[in-house]
Amino acid sequence: MQEFMKPALLALAVAGMAVTACSGSPHHAVSHAGPVRYSSAQQMVAALGKAGMPCAGAEYSSPPVVSGATSEASCTLGSSDHVLIDVFSGNITNATVVANSQSTGTEQIFSAVGLNWWVQANQPDAQQIKKKLGGRAVIAGPWTPPAAAQPSADNALACSTVIDDTGWKNGPLTELRAIAILSDYMTQRALPIIGGTLDDSELTVMGGLATDMENYSGSNLSDNASQYASDEQSYAQPGPSGDPENTAFATPMMKDILLLVKDCPGAYSLGKQMLQNGS
């Protein structure tokens, strides 16, 4: 029977394995020797097509909507529903990119930036565009998401709260037991979590618990549960290099679990009991 790590040792395990995972990650070669300059949005659309990233339904704005641009196009590309391409006569600064990529919508804008051009898309597509078109950087624009509906003041989460009426062997799943399950996962499956190699059933469990912990407020446990839900949902998205999970959120997610164990100390002994019983 594998020994269940105590809470104080879990934090050391998280930090140590995160360093190991980062030091062993491979480097990806770029397709261009340096940043590339383009003369028009039409030329960029053609280059994207040749690079295997077709810019579907491209429409050209004349004059361009973005101030200072000499050529502009919009299209759909990859998993990005709205892509904006702008080309300028001279070099552009990061400050100009940031000033023109502010978002108050449901998604943050990421710009693949070259010497005299940018392509605005989501993060995975922007990373690929930078690599394939000879960009110099990917810049995240300022983002102010729409305000979420606030839960009621009496919606505080407690260790005894039933977060799913049928979530544990067709019976009630409490927050305490949910944290025990997560603690068990982190003890038994820490390396796969950091390496992004969990199987589908494990991801489903962690995602289901994240959904169950959302939308609570009014206590420290509520805040930590909401943060776990947010980090788990980010972890479950494809990473910037096309990996099935975004492992950049692995360590934050595991630290969230440590805080949840601290909020509900009984989860440690319950998790140990579950592990010993094979449940």
Residue ranges covered by each domain of the chain: 41-140, 150-277
Q: What is the pLDDT of residues 92-113, one digit of tens each?
A: 999 999 999 999 888 899 999 9
Region 11-34: what's the mean pLDDT? 44
Q: What is the pLDDT of residues 37-85, one digit of tens each?
A: 999 999 999 999 999 999 999 999 999 999 999 999 999 999 999 999 9
Q: What is the pLDDT of residues 216-225, one digit of tens each?
A: 888 899 999 9
Checking if the pLDDT of 13 tops 70, the result is: no
Q: Percent of the chain having pLDDT more than 70?
A: 84
Structure tokens belonging to residue 256: 């969230």
**196 φψ region: left (φ > 0), alpha (ψ -120 to 50), beta (else):** left
**Mind spelling out the 3-state secondary structure of the chain?**
CCCCCCHHHHHHHHHHHHHHHHHCCCCCCCCCCCCCCCCCHHHHHHHHHHCCCCCEEEEECCCCCCCCEEEEEEEEECCEEEEEEEEECCCCCHHHHHHCCCECCCCCCEEEECCCEEEEECHHHHHHHHHHHCCCEEEECCECCCCCCCCCCCCCCCCCCEEEEEEECCEEEEHHHHHHHHHHHHHHCHHHHHHCCCCHHHHHHHHHHHHHCCCCCCCHHHHHHHHHHHHHHHHCCCCCCCCCCCHHHHHHHHHHHHHHHHHCCHHHHHHHHHHHHCC
